[in-house]
């Protein structure tokens, strides 16, 4: 194991970890706002990628496609929240789980019907030959993944910390009744949380599409996003980010040292161990009850 | 009193059932002017690209055959059922086709697992099943008179051809294998390893695996790079192959890749771009849909006219395979004559010798001893961004046929 | 009450008479539906009654299926032995999951079960010498004392008899003190604890029972289809199992039966729309969940309540829908 390999793997791990972090964030946001885990989040990523494909096909350059996809995804998220989620928010958890799965199924089936299983590709300015840094080869896309994640985290930090609406969302997550009493419109908060979440998911699709190709199965990484969120205790945005990066690194190194089986086992092994031993994640407050 | 009424009812039911059975005594699926073929394959789920193409290619062939007069005055008709790539659902599809729709024969465009779920039922039932795509050996072994395999060849044969090509043609003795953990790719990886050992006593310098859906292959590639192979054999899907090839180039690995048949496809070239240059592999069909061969161009025009709105990536290999296989079946049906029965069709198929509908298909042959229609694959290489045929002909005799003697 | 018993008897009579006039296709579908009924009854005990969400039900089904497959092909054991052994192994595995997970609920429990499901899948694929790996495994027909259930009718009656048995067991569990303990744990673990119910132990028993039912169903599935592979027991299948009880009615045996039968029939009924089947299935599911949140059983209860203005005993206990 040379230094070169270790560093190369670190770059790989951090970049895929950034992707997991973004998906984890997208999962934690609506959970904090309305207590719902959106199991369709993987398909939201796919949706973002295909939306980019459509817009790209109209001749728009990548940088123009990005804001359009984000807006489209936000609108999509708000529509789903209003029409499908809001009416059933009080139903048992199972119903909510199945509803989000059904939404995901519909999105994936619809995409598959129209585009079938071909892997499409779109051009993006960050896809290109690797940059050399000594003996290291730096894939520019990987750098963009990491940078994007940092930008998103910074933006969310500013939003939740300093903007009025962001503070309103934090208040609602802490205590929705008190927030209501303070005049905060919970409905808008829910909508905004979902819109943010679908925007994040679509953003991941935008990033991944040009690099790994666009096909109906890319949403499978929701499982990794779930693990990332769990590492962060499913209640902390920062935790989800840390969880994603940690997972990416763990996976990559495990795969390198122990083979593909281990790479597969790592996320779920970590998931189960954490949930059984420390469900509040590595950072959160204890939420398991003694029974 | 109730007992009598109930008994009467049961008798009536039994009588009706018996009568219905008598009515079905003539050959099912064959009428004065039509032959009904039942077909199944995955048209939903991740394997849909196989079944949809299988169905569409078959339907195109059927349309042409009917337009040219049909089979001995009868029109061909196909009922297609989805199997969702699940053995449970595949068995439901076949039971429906045979017991409910009373088809004459089954044309199978499903993957291996779906097909294997139905084999016992079909073997016992006696209806003829012609398998176009599934490469699992269980289709033709143990030998059963009513089971045939057309387009694709058996998994062990892939191993034989790959080994011969890599060792005798590319003259490579240091081979690394990178395979995905899914049915087809895993089979290929193992078949290659087994055959390299059996014929040449060579072991791969590295066997690495990846998970289907992986986006990053750096760990595996670095591992492989350490063993300094001459060729990297990659078995998986075009999406992953493209990423792996690009990443390999980025890591400074310039060894040529050798890929499985699902990657000998335009999709790989679109996704991998420059990184695919120099890669070689075997195609299941002699000409790819993108070939400039005039016969292929004609066929492509016909296909596009029939299916104008399908997305990029279609037609694919499976469209061509099932199209060609329908013609094989139709040719045999014609020779079986107007007095059609399963036995006659089996005899006619077994007499098929190097038949193909044109240069776009590989010749198929069946014998009384074995029903493996095709033992050939076409070697191809990426030259200047296109898959070009490579003049490689297998010289070694296949071991597979030995057990059918 | 009389009407209900009569209805059940007529239903059973129809089921018994099915092989007389149904093709092997319909018999096969009936067998699949019955296997799903067993799944639904077991899952409802855990999730509907005891309130523990589980996304790994398909894994226990897989464990039962693979155990039976291996016991009958490798050790040549009769179904008389392989079936109960598979059930026991599944139950033990259920307890093995339920025990460490006893402190979890809601999302965390769901994710733990999801992780468990993925790990079981990995294990199945990692030992292809035993499990056939991704290539799948052939399974012989069930066989007792040398009699192999080869014919369509005999296999059908075999599955029917066992399904009736399973439903009866499920019904009795619900009415037993364990069933009541399950309900208590669902409604309020604190109150249950205060009442002296050993909540942790009850949860483990619920998991174990669920796994036993699922393993039982998996064992039957292996014999009925004759071929199993890992995707059969993956995430999508687990979700399907949850849809049985959500659409049928949480906590209700009738609901389990209704949901399982309907959602087994639905994909088959959608064969006509060919590749649109998945999309339409998704919409039907979504529609059912949005408009019938209490499931089919809830619809019946609502109709009954509409007819008689008085609140039913159920509503008095659980509140009006």
Sort residue B242 into left (φ over 0), alpha (ψ -120 to 50) or beta.
alpha
> Which of B33-42, B265-274, C177-186 shows the highest mean pLDDT?
B33-42
Banded pLDDT at B13 (limits 50, 70, 90): low
* pLDDT at residue C83, rounded to an integer: 95
Q: Cβ of C125 and B181 within 8 Å? A: yes
Residue B16 reports pLDDT greater than 70: no
3-state secondary structure of B259: strand
Asked if C267 is an interface residue toward chain A (Cβ–Cβ < 8 A), one would say: no
For residue B302, the model assigns a pLDDT of: 96
Q: Do both B276 and B384 map to the same domain?
A: yes
Neighbours of chain B (3+ CB pairs under 8 A): A, C
Query: Is B333 in the same domain as B316?
Result: yes
Tell me whether residues A275 and C47 touch, CB distance under 8 A: no
- Residue to test with chain B: of A260, A261, A266, most B Cβ within 10 A: A260
Could you tell me if C265 lies within 8 Å of chain B, comparing CB atoms? no
Q: Which of A109, A29, A114 is closest to A77 using CA atoms?
A: A29
Residue C105 lies in a domain: yes
Number of domains, chain B: 2
B145 and B160 share a domain? no
Q: Give the residue from chain A lying closest to C240, CA to CA.
A: A98
The 10s digit of each residue's pLDDT in A174-202 is 777 888 888 888 888 888 999 999 999 99
Q: Which long-range contacts (CB under 8 A, 24 or more apart) does A109-115 make?
A: A109/B44, A109/C278, A109/C279, A109/C282, A110/C279, A111/A46, A111/A47, A111/A50, A111/A216, A112/A216, A112/B44, A112/B48, A112/C278, A113/C275, A113/C276, A113/C279, A114/B311, A115/A50, A115/A53, A115/A216, A115/B311
Mean pLDDT across the stretch C254-282? 93
Q: What is the pLDDT of residue C24?
A: 92
Q: Is the minimum CB–CB distance between C108 and chain A shorter than 8 Å?
A: yes
Of the candidates B52, B239, B267, the beta carbon closest to that of A212 is on B239
Q: Is residue B387 part of a domain?
A: yes
Nearest to B219 among A114, A137, A252 (CB): A252
Asked if C3 is an interface residue toward chain A (Cβ–Cβ < 8 A), one would say no
For residue B76, being part of any structural domain is answered with yes
Interface-testing mutation among B216, B227, B271, B275, with chain A (most A C-beta atoms within 10 A): B216
How high is the pLDDT of residue A284? 54
Q: For residue A1, what pLDDT is reported?
A: 58
Chain A residues in contact with B239 (beta carbon < 8 A): 119, 212-213, 215
Partner B contacted by C134 (CB < 8 A): yes
Q: Determine the average pLDDT of the residues in A253-276.
A: 84
* Co-location of B266 and B397 in the same domain: yes
Domain CATH for B276? 3.40.50.2300
Q: What is the mean pLDDT of chain A?
A: 88
Contact C122/A92, CB-based, under 8 Å?
no
Going from the C-alpha of C277 to that of each of B89, B325, C158, C232, the distances in angstroms are 13, 27, 31, 18
Minimal-distance CA residue of chain B relative to C226 = B117
**Predicted pLDDT at A36:** 86
pLDDT at C221: 97
Mean pLDDT, range A96-119, rounded to an integer: 92
**Could you give the dihedral angle defined by the CA atoms of residues B166, B171, B174 and B178, in that order, rounded to the nearest 10 degrees?**
-20
Contacts of B238 (CB under 8 A, 6+ apart): A119, B262, B263, B265, B267, B268, B271
Residues of chain C contacting B112 with CB distance shorter than 8 Å: 135
Q: Is residue B130 part of a domain?
A: yes
Answer whether residue C55 is part of any domain.
yes
Interface test with B, best of A18, A54, A118 (most B CBs within 10 A): A118
The CA distance from C64 to C217, in Å, is 7
Residue C188 lies in a domain: yes
The domain defined by A3-277 folds into ABC transporter involved in vitamin B12 uptake, BtuC (1.10.3470)
Structural domain including B128 reads: 34-152+296-374
pLDDT at res. C87: 97
Is there a contact between B371 and B140 (Cβ–Cβ < 8 Å)?
yes
Q: CA nearest C194 in A: which residue? A: A291
User: For the residues B93-105, what does the mean pLDDT come to?
Assistant: 96
My answer on whether B148 and B162 are in the same domain is no
Residue B60 lies in a domain: yes
Q: Kindly state whether residue B53 falls inside one of the protein's structural domains.
A: yes
Q: Which domain holds residue C39?
A: 21-234
**Chain-chain contact of B220 with A255 (C-beta, under 8 angstroms):** yes
Chain B residues whose beta carbon lies within 8 Å of the beta carbon of residue A260: 181, 208-211, 220
Do the domain assignments include residue C316?
Answer: no
Inter-chain CB proximity B251 and A213 less than 8 Å = no
Q: Could you tell me if residue C299 is inside a domain? A: no
CB B66 within 8 A of CB B27: no
Mean pLDDT of B76-104: 96
Query: β-strands B175-180, B231-235: how paired?
Result: parallel
**pLDDT at residue B313 in the model:** 85
B109 and B165 share a domain? Answer: no
The model's pLDDT over C129-154, given as tens digits with 9 standing for 90+, comes to: 889 888 899 999 998 888 888 888 99
Q: What is the pTM of this model?
A: 0.91
Q: Are C199 and A291 inside 8 Å of each other by CB?
A: yes
Is the Cβ pair C101, A265 closer than 8 Å?
no
CB C251 within 8 A of CB C314: no
Whether residue B5 is predicted with pLDDT greater than 60 in this model: the reply is: no
- Picking from B202, B201, B200, B177, the residue whose alpha carbon sits closest to that of residue B190 is B177
C312 has pLDDT over 70: no
| C282/A contact by beta carbon, under 8 A | yes
Using a CB-CB cut-off of 8 Å, the residues of chain A touching B313 are 116-119
Tell me: pLDDT of B19 over 80.
no
Residue B231: both structure tokens together = 């060729």
Could you tell me if residue B145 is inside a domain? Answer: yes
- Average pLDDT of chain B, as a whole number: 90
Contact B181 A264 (CB under 8 A): yes
State percent of chain B over pLDDT 70: 94
Q: Which of C20, C28, C138 sits opposite B13 (nearest CB)?
A: C20
> Which chain C residues contact residue B181 at CB under 8 A?
125, 134
pLDDT of B20 over the 60 cut: no
Q: Is residue B59 part of a domain?
A: yes
Q: Which residues of chain B are at the A interface, by a Cβ-Cβ cutoff of 8 Å?
A: 44, 46, 48-49, 52, 181, 208-211, 213-216, 218-220, 222-223, 238-239, 242-243, 247, 250-252, 267, 270-271, 310-314
**pLDDT band for position B151 (50/70/90)?**
confident
pLDDT above 60: residue B91: yes
Least reliable range by pLDDT among A84-98, B148-162, C174-188, C250-264: A84-98
Q: Do C225 and B44 touch (CB under 8 A)?
A: no
Q: Which of B208, B252, B312 sits opposite A260 (nearest CB)?
A: B208
Is this complex's ipTM strictly greater than 0.85? Answer: yes
pLDDT for the residue B22 = 47
Same domain, B331 and B345: yes
Please check whether residues B142 and B50 belong to one and the same domain.
yes
Instruction: Place C317 in a pLDDT band, splitting at 50, 70 and 90.
Output: low
User: How far apart (Å, rounded) are the C-alpha atoms in residues B358 and A14?
Assistant: 52
Residues B305 and B261 in one domain: no
CB pairs under 8 A between A and C: 119
Confidence of residue A87 (pLDDT cuts 50, 70, 90): confident
pLDDT of residue A70: 97
Q: State whether B54 and B183 are in the same domain.
A: no
Decide if pLDDT at A282 tops 80: no
Is C272 a member of any domain? no
Tens of pLDDT, residues C10-65:
988 989 999 888 999 999 999 999 999 999 999 999 999 998 889 999 999 999 99
Number of domains in chain C: 1
Report if residue B92 sits inside a domain.
yes
B128-146 core/surface letters (b: 16 or more CB in 10 A; e: else): bbbbbbbbbbbbbbeebbb
Whether C126 has its CB under 8 Å from any CB of chain B: the answer is no
Cβ distance B216 to A12 less than 8 Å, yes or no, reads: yes
Q: For position A33, what pLDDT does the model report?
A: 83
pLDDT-based confidence at A92, cuts 50/70/90?
Answer: confident
What residues of B are in contact with residue A263 (Cβ under 8 Å)? 211, 214, 219
* Min distance B211 CA to chain C CA atoms (Å): 11
- The enclosing H or E element of B175 equals strand B175-180
Best residue in C231, C277, C278 for a mutation probing chain B (most B CBs within 10 Å): C231
Residue ranges per structural domain of chain A: 3-277
| Angle at alpha carbon of residue B312, lines to C134 and A216, rounded to 5° | 45
Work out the burial of residue C288: count CB atoms within 10 Å of its CB; fewer than 13 is exposed, 13-18 middle, 19 or more buried. Answer: buried
Compare CB distances from A265 to C47, C119, C199 and report the shortest one's residue.
Answer: C119
């Amino acid at each position: 194991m040379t230094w070169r390999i270790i560093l190369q793997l670190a770059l790989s791990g951090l970049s895929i970890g950034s992707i997991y972090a973004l998906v984890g964030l997208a999962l934690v946001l609506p959970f904090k706002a309305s207590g719902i885990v959106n199991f369709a989040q993987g398909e939201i990523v796919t949706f973002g990628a295909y939306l980019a494909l459509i817009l790209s096909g109209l001749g728009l350059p990548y940088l123009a496609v990005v804001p359009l996809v984000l807006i489209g995804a936000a609108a999509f998220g708000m529509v789903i929240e209003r029409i499908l989620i809001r009416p059933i928010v009080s139903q048992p958890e199972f119903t909510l789980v199945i509803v989000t799965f059904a939404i995901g199924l519909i999105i994936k089936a619809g995409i598959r019907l129209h585009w079938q299983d071909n892997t499409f590709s779109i051009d993006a300015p960050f896809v290109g030959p690797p940059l050399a840094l000594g003996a290291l080869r730096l894939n520019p896309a990987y750098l963009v993944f990491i940078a994007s994640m940092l930008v998103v985290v910074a933006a969310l930090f500013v939003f939740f910390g300093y903007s009025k609406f962001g503070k309103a969302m934090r208040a609602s997550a802490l205590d929705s009744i008190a927030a209501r009493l303070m005049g905060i419109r919970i409905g808008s908060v829910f909508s905004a949380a979902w819109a943010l979440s679908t925007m994040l998911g679509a953003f991941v699709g935008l990033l991944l599409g040009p690099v790994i190709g666009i096909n109906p199965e890319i949403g499978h990484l929701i499982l990794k996003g779930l693990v990332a969120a769990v590492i962060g205790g499913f209640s902390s945005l920062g935790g989800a980010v840390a969880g994603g990066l940690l997972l990416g690194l763990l996976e990559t190194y495990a795969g390198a040292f122990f083979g593909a089986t281990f790479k597969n086992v790592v996320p779920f092994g970590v998931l189960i161990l954490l949930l059984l031993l420390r469900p509040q994640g590595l950072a959160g407050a204890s939420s398991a009850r003694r029974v | 009193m109730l007992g009598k009424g109930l008994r009467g009812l049961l008798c009536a039911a039994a009588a009706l059932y018996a009568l219905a059975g008598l009515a079905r005594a003539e050959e099912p699926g064959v009428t004065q002017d039509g032959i009904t073929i039942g077909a199944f394959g995955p048209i939903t789920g991740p394997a849909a690209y196989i079944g949809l193409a299988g169905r569409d290619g078959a339907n195109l062939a059927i349309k042409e055959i009917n337009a040219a007069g049909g089979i001995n005055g009868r029109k061909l008709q196909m009922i297609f059922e989805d199997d969702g790539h699940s053995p449970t659902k595949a068995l439901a599809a076949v039971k429906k086709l045979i017991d409910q729709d009373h088809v004459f024969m089954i044309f199978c465009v499903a993957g291996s697992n779906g097909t294997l779920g139905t084999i016992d039922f079909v073997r016992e039932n006696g209806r003829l099943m012609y398998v176009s795509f599934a490469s699992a050996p269980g289709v033709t072994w143990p030998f059963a008179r009513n089971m045939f395999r057309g387009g694709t060849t058996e998994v062990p044969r892939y191993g034989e051809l790959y080994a011969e090509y890599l060792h005798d043609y590319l003259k490579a003795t240091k081979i690394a294998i990178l395979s995905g953990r899914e049915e087809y790719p895993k089979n290929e990886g193992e078949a290659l390893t087994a055959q390299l050992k059996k014929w040449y006593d060579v072991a791969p310098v590295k066997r690495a695996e990846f998970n289907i859906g992986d986006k990053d292959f750096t760990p595996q590639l670095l591992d492989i790079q350490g063993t300094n192979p001459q060729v990297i054999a990659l078995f998986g899907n075009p999406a992953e192959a493209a990423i792996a090839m690009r990443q390999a180039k980025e890591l400074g690995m310039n060894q040529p890749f050798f890929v499985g048949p699902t990657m000998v496809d335009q999709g790989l070239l679109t996704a991998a771009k420059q990184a695919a240059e120099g890669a070689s592999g075997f195609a299941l069909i002699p000409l790819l849909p993108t070939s400039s061969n005039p016969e292929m161009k004609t066929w492509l025009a016909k296909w596009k006219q029939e299916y104008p709105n399908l997305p990029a990536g279609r037609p694919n290999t499976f469209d061509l395979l099932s199209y060609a296989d329908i013609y094989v079946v139709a040719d045999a049906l014609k020779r079986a004559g107007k007095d059609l029965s399963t036995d006659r069709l089996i005899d006619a198929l077994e007499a098929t010798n190097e038949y193909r509908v044109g240069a776009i298909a590989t010749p198929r042959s069946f014998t009384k001893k074995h029903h493996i229609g095709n033992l050939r694959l076409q070697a191809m290489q990426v030259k200047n961004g296109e898959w070009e045929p490579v003049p490689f002909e297998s010289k070694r005799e296949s071991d597979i046929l030995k057990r059918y003697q | 009450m009389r009407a209900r018993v009569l209805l059940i008897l007529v239903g059973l009579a129809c089921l018994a008479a099915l092989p007389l006039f149904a093709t092997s296709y319909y018999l096969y579908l009936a067998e699949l539906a019955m296997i799903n009924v067993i799944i639904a009854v077991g899952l409802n005990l855990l999730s509907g009654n005891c309130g523990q969400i589980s996304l790994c039900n398909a894994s226990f089904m897989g464990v039962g299926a693979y155990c039976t497959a291996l016991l009958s092909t490798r050790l040549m054991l009769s179904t008389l032995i392989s079936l109960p052994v598979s059930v026991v192994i599944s139950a033990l595995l259920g307890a093995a999951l339920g025990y460490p997970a006893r402190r979890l609920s809601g999302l965390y429990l769901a994710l733990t079960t999801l992780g468990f499901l993925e790990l079981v899948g990995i294990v199945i694929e990692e030992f292809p010498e035993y499990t056939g790996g991704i290539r799948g495994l052939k399974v012989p027909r069930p066989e007792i004392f040398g009699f192999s259930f080869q014919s369509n009718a005999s296999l059908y009656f075999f599955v029917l008899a066992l399904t009736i048995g399973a439903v009866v067991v499920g019904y009795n569990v619900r009415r037993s003190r364990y069933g009541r303990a399950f309900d208590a744990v669902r409604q309020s673990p604190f109150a249950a604890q205060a009442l002296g119910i050993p909540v942790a132990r009850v949860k483990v028993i619920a998991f174990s029972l669920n796994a036993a039912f699922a393993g039982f169903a998996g064992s039957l599935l292996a014999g009925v289809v004759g071929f199993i592979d890992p995707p059969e027991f993956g995430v999508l299948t687990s979700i399907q199992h949850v849809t049985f009880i959500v659409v049928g009615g949480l906590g209700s045996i009738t609901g389990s039966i209704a949901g399982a039968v309907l959602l087994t029939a639905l994909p088959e009924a959608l064969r006509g729309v060919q590749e649109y089947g998945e999309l339409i299935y998704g919409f039907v599911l979504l529609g059912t969940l949005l408009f019938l949140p209490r499931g089919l059983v809830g619809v019946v209860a609502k109709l009954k309540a509409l007819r008689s203005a008085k609140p039913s005993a159920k509503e008095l206990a659980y509140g009006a829908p």
